[in-house]
Amino acid sequence: MDLDELIVKVNAELKNVHYSDLCLKRFATVWNRLRDYVGQDGQNLYTAKIGMDFLEAEYGITVYTKLTQRNRRCARAVNVLTDYLLHGIIFSRRMQPRLTFHRQFQKVFQGYIDKKKADGSSEDTVRSYEIYLSRFSAYLNSRGIAVIDSLDESVVLGYINTLVKHSPSVIHTTLCALRTFFHYLFQNGFASRNFAYIVPHDGYRKRTKVPSAYPKEDVVKLLKSIDRGNPKGKRDYAIILIAARLGLRAQDICNLSFNNLKWETNTVEIVQEKTDSSLVLPLLEDVGMAIIDYLKYARPQCNSTNAIFLRLVPPIGKLEAPTLHSIVTQHMNNAGIKIQDGKKHGPHALRHSLASALLEENTPLPVIAEILGHRSTATTSTYLQIDINQLRTCTLDPLPFDWEKGEEVF
């Protein structure tokens, strides 16, 4: 796209999502320098690659450099151009650098990731493989490997030995990624040897974890602690109430739009992100009132999304699931709710707490499964592990013992 045209569009969009004049002025300074850089070849076209090359040439910024505050602003000025060019929107600030592979391996590693996507692997799987293989790429670079075909057993085993610091699940996924990656290298002629055979099988088996749940008293305490006298409090209260009363997952709360609220029937109707299945829940009175309070007095004006819950700082837009985790955790701390080591404390913990409360009320498992949007009661049955009172009813009285004979009496 023509750079000047892109800058005009991005500038208008930044104003639309309420960026400050000072921020726009700082961006303009970087964009002017970018114009000079692009114009050196008599061109005025902008691409994502040109943006990255510009940052490296003019500011020494790469994905591997630790950024100063000034350089972070410069990178942000270029990133918003790239975001709009590729996606037509402005994303919120990236708290972590984009994952990438070292230059000498970029084509090979990215080719493997693209194949995983083409083969239908889930987004979560692809993302995990990107993370673990980017670490492998960094290790190869640190060992001075310039060509992928120069790998040998000592390098591969050396990297595998570094995995001991990670959790069993991370080790397992990393080994799976390495194994399939080495098959890919060999089958596509990037490596003359297939090192998959030396990647060990760890025998890892995923265990069903006991869900983290909080007693009703803590949930009530959490809701009462939220100050609803300001926009953030109104938004956070509505979000936490939905998680606690309806048990929606974080991503489904983020995805809630005006179309999902059926006021005429007092229902919430969604298609769940995780299972892609429909779910209809009652729009409880207190939940509905909290949403109305937020919509009338706290939701920012935003024409770019139909989502109900929005960021309150620029760029104004839809909330992301990790933000909901931070929101719940913050208010739990404010409420003085003690969070034990290893215990979950995000919106999913409120979902678990709802399931626990329903079990305590002797709600049938199929009903709980329907409320939580589970496809099978087998999934819901894991919540039985947190209902201690129900488990106590399953205990058996000990058999009588004849002490003279030294045996149990049947």
Neighbours of 25 (CB within 10 A): 9
Is 374 a residue of the active site? yes
Is 331 a residue of the active site? no
Cβ-contact 93, 76 below 8 angstroms:
yes
- State the residue for tokens 């799976």: 176
**φ/ψ (deg, to 5) at 405:** -85, -20
Question: Strands 401-402 and 407-408: what pairing?
Answer: antiparallel
Is 232 a residue of the active site? no
Active site residue: 207, 274, 296, 392, which one? 274
DSSP 335: T
Is 139 a residue of the active site? no
Token duo for residue 102: 């070292």
Token duo for residue 151: 């790998």
Cβ-contact 34, 108 below 8 angstroms:
no
Active site residue: 249, 299, 331, 352, which one? 249
Active site residue: 299, 311, 318, 374, which one? 374
Question: Strands 267-271 and 261-262: what pairing?
Answer: antiparallel
3-state secondary structure 164-216: HHCCHHHHHHHHHHHHHHHHHHHHCCCCCCCHHHHCCCCCCCCCCCCCCCCCH
The angle subtended at Cα 274 by Cα 310 and Cα 289, nearest 5°, is 40
Is 237 a residue of the active site? no
Is 221 a residue of the active site? no
The angle subtended at Cα 97 by Cα 91 and Cα 101, nearest 5°, is 125
Of 193, 154, 195, 190, the residue nearest 175 (C-alpha): 195
Cβ-contact 213, 355 below 8 angstroms:
yes
Length of the chain, in residues: 410
- What is the C-alpha separation between 363 and 341, in angstroms, rounded? 30
Q: Is 382 exposed, middle or buried (0-12, 13-18, 19+ CB in 10 A)?
A: middle
Active site residue: 235, 344, 351, 352, which one? 351
Of 87, 65, 61, the residue nearest 75 (C-alpha): 61
Beta bridge pairs of residue 270: 279
Q: Which residues are catalytic?
A: 249, 274, 348, 351, 374, 383
